[in-house]
Chains A and B, each alone.
Chain A
Amino acid sequence: MISLEEKRKEALRKWELLENNNIPIIYLGTATCGRAAGAMNVLDTVRKTLKENKLKAKIIQVGCIGPCYLEPLLDVKLPGHPRISYASVNPEKAKLIIESCLIEENPLPNLAAGYFGKNGQESTNGIPKFFDLPMLKPQVRLVLRNCGFIDPENIDHYLANSGYDGLINAFKMGPEKVIAEVKEAGLRGRGGAGFPTYKKWEICRNSPGSVKYMICNVSEGDPGAFMNRSLIESDPHCVLEGLLIASYAIGANHGYVYINADYHLAIARLKKAAGRMKECGLLGKNILNSGFDFDVTIKEGAGAFVCGEETAQIGAIEGKRGMPRSRPPFPAVSGLHDKPTIINNVETLGTIPNILRNGAAWYRQFGVQGNYGTKTFSLVGSVRRGGLIEVSLGIKMRQIIFDIGGGTWKPFKGVQTGGPSGGCLSEEFLDIPVEYEAMTAAGSIMGSGGLIVMDEDTCVVDLALYFLNFTQKESCGKCVPCRVGTWQMVNILERIVKGRSEPEDLSKLQILAETVQRASLCGLGQTAPNPVLTTLRYFRSEYLAHVKEKYCQSAVCKELVVYEIDSDKCNGCQLCVNVCPTDAIKGAKAELHSIDLYRCIKCKACYEVCRYDPLAGNAIVIRSKRNVA
């Protein structure tokens, strides 16, 4: 077996060759988001084009660089030129780019999104720097530093970018000093609760017994959050390095990565990465002559949102129903197989190598007092520039949504943070800093990092019902407040969106929500009412409109809207007549159409045709009417 040092020298040499390439290199982002946007078709076209033209080039599949709205991203690096990135590439565009760049050496500045300049390589033809794009400029990339730049399946790329330096430093320092360093850095759990990471580790390290376990929590169940998936797909080694360091610090010799079985690509890449680590002597007995033994198991889970909770996750790993149990004893004292166990979030572990490599003082320069470092968010919803972002803590919400995200298409209404456990914040909260305490004070939580932006087309009552439906389905059923309470809340909310509610329903809902919050056993139940409580607090007028006037401002709640045809705009094109599944629309060619409201199932098909088809007149409107009693 060759030593890590030799391996790194070799890796650096190879990386140098990539930097000063003599044949063109083509980078393609093929993480889940890229694949969904059609990156694999682009890859086939690139291969075919190269073959047809007998061109020589190296293709590297990289992870996600962040701006998912630009996917699929195709980058070309010609010898002696910087790497130029092209956005929203389809097979035809890919063919054009490859032929133009590689044959004519014309980088097509009109199509280019940006370039990555290193070693003083300057811009060509007025193409902007990629990291100067408005979405990327305010970001600070620590955890995501390698994402989109290295081949996630190639350990050499990670080694060449100071990979496993943190681990080597940790071995030099010894476990106590590693914990002290993490304490000094002020790192807090990135899973959402913000518990100081060092404290957990200390408790576990001081717990008696020689067998301890370390678990990496990739049970990312929040709908609308994909940070952890993207990180593992783009840079699996940084998470595994963090896992190794954490295990060394607490004295665990066995680690688990608990990952949702639906994350096929992430699982494949983790397994591959663990295999490479074994080859390099980074897993197994006496790692790097430190006397530390460690092995990791990739444990596939079968879904269930509640399995993100520590004690439930331990149950799932043991092969039981994933139901939380009451604490104490905390898992750090008695967890998996009744042994001391630490469960850390993916992002927490992904941050550890950075801290150990560069030191706590370096890490503290990011963020604000008490909330040091960075946090990744998945910025989605009705926002112009959505994607995976990383920002310093303490940044204003307004900066995230308007500077990075580019704002909304229609007037901004609110932002939902923290998934089903979080809350909806209205416009006046845009200027609060994004940090654990401030978010909790506003009634929401930091959460694992889902940010769903809402504009005027989103009905908050409908959104609250959506989240509650989710938590109600995911409730494990162990404790009554959560099992029955969420069910009753869903019933009330359903009455409200269907326009069958009584005025006292709102106060009933409030009391019920507060009870569930206080009386539930685990985090799922305690936070499940958050979406309801925050929307009741900040968007009360919308609830009142639903209850009193049976009016939905955003025209979302199906039972409160009607489909109408604007007689001034209708040009009688008959497109809607053809598309209607229930024959509810009648009208002869070139004559005014009409909708039979008794037949209409409100499927939205006619609305789309009328709005998007160039021949149609955009005459169909979905409208809710105020019903003043």
Chain B
Amino acid sequence: MKEKAYINIFSKFKGIEGDLIPILLNIQEKFGYISLEAIKYTSRFLKISENQIFGVATFYPKFRFTEPGKKSIKVCMGTACHVRGGQFLSETVGWKLGISIGQVTADKRFDFQRATCLGCCTLGPVVQINEDIHSRMIVTRLKEILEEHD
């Protein structure tokens, strides 16, 4: 079943070394993270050692190796958001949910990541929850939104 999904992804590529990052991106999009199993399959397909794949994958901040939570919270850490008090928002998520950046809550409901820049700097500070972007956020409003999602 799962193997089929991988074969499906691999069928779009030629199997050269340059395909490694796009393949990993595809896998992450499909499964949400890069599992050990995914690296094994990719290694077989590209004929590159698992070690080398790990080396490349861990270099890029986009890849994650643990299962994501159901709802993803991304706090923008861009300069414009920082200047307007973005770090208070990430702290709010911290004390509200008890997790720090890169962690998942124990019940796997929330997933907390930082974003380098979400591309809407004039609306800062912004927080993205799933696909919704909440602009011009303040601590109290974020607290309310997190309670709504709970």
* Chain A interfacial positions (CB closer than 8 Å to B): 32-33, 35-37, 68-69, 71, 221-226, 229-230, 261-263, 299-305, 316-323, 378, 380-382, 386-387, 416, 419, 450, 452, 454, 458, 463, 466-467, 473, 476, 579, 581, 601, 603-605, 608-609, 612
Contact = CB atoms under 8 A, between A and B. Distances in A.
Given A304-B60, A320-B56, 20 more contacts: A223-B82, A224-B78, A224-B80, A224-B117, A262-B62, A263-B119, A299-B22, A302-B25, A302-B63, A320-B17, A321-B59, A323-B59, A381-B83, A452-B79, A466-B79, A466-B82, A473-B61, A603-B95, A604-B139, A612-B138
16 contacts: A33-B122, A33-B123, A36-B119, A223-B80, A223-B82, A224-B117, A302-B24, A302-B61, A304-B61, A321-B55, A322-B59, A381-B84, A463-B79, A605-B92, A609-B140, A612-B138
Given A221-B116, A300-B25, A608-B139, A69 B122 contact: yes
Interface in B44-60: 55-56, 59-60
Nearest to B82: A466
Nearest 8 A-B pairs (CB), nearest first? A224-B79, A36-B120, A302-B60, A386-B122, A319-B20, A223-B78, A302-B62, A380-B80
B68 interface: no
Contacts of A299: 22
A603 B139 contact: yes
B121 interface: yes
Contacts of A608: 138-140
B71 interface: no
Given A452-B79, A581-B95, A224 B121 contact: yes
A60 B148 CA distance: 35
A33 B120 CA distance: 5
A35 B18 contact: no
Contacts of A319: 16-21, 56
A33 B77 CA distance: 16
B88 interface: yes
Nearest to B23: A319
State which size class the interface on B falls in: 35 or more
A579 B141 CA distance: 11
A337 B148 CA distance: 52
A313 B60 CA distance: 12
B69 to A, nearest CB: 19
A380 B121 contact: yes
Interface in B111-139: 115-124, 126, 133, 135, 138-139
Nearest to A469: B77
B32 interface: no
Contacts of B25: 261, 300, 302
Contacts of B79: 222-224, 380-381, 416, 419, 450, 452, 463, 466-467
Contacts, number: 151
A33 B88 CA distance: 23
Given A32-B120, A37-B120, A321-B56, A382 B135 contact: no
Interface string B82-121: 1111001001100110000000000000000001111111
Given A303-B61, A319-B20, A579 B135 contact: no
Contacts of A304: 59-62
A302 B58 CA distance: 11
A229 B119 contact: yes
A300 B25 CA distance: 8
A36 B122 CA distance: 10
A302 B82 CA distance: 23
A603 B60 contact: no
B117 A68 contact: no
A431 to B, nearest CB: 23
A35 B124 CA distance: 14
A69 B135 CA distance: 12
A35 B133 contact: yes
Contact of A605 (B60, B77, B143): B143
B49 to A, nearest CB: 13
A605 B123 contact: no
Nearest to A450: B79
A612 B144 CA distance: 15
Contacts of A37: 120, 123, 135
A35 B120 CA distance: 9
A612 B140 CA distance: 10
Given A303-B60, A319-B20, A604-B139, A226 B121 contact: yes
Contacts of B121: 68, 224-226, 378, 380, 386
Contacts of A609: 140
A413 B79 CA distance: 16
Contact of A318 (B18, B83, B85, B118): B18
A303 B123 contact: no
Contact of A225 (B82, B88, B95, B117): B117
B88 A603 contact: yes
Nearest to A387: B122
A466 B83 CA distance: 10
A225 B139 CA distance: 24
A442 to B, nearest CB: 19
Most-contacted residue by chain B among A35, A223, A463 (CB, 10 A): A223
A401 to B, nearest CB: 14
A68 B123 contact: yes
Contacts of A386: 80, 121-122
Contacts of A601: 91, 95
A287 to B, nearest CB: 24
Among B82, B88, B124, chain A packs the most CB atoms within 10 A around the CB of B82
A221 B118 CA distance: 11
A454 B79 CA distance: 11
Contacts of A223: 77-80, 82, 116-117
B59 A301 contact: no
B78 to A, nearest CB: 4
Nearest to B16: A319
Contacts of B85: 604
A494 B92 CA distance: 21
Contacts of B124: 380
Nearest to A382: B83
A327 to B, nearest CB: 20
A458 B83 contact: yes
B119 A33 contact: yes
Q: Which of A319, A323, A386, A387 has the most CB of B within 10 A?
A: A319
Interface string B24-39: 1100000000000000
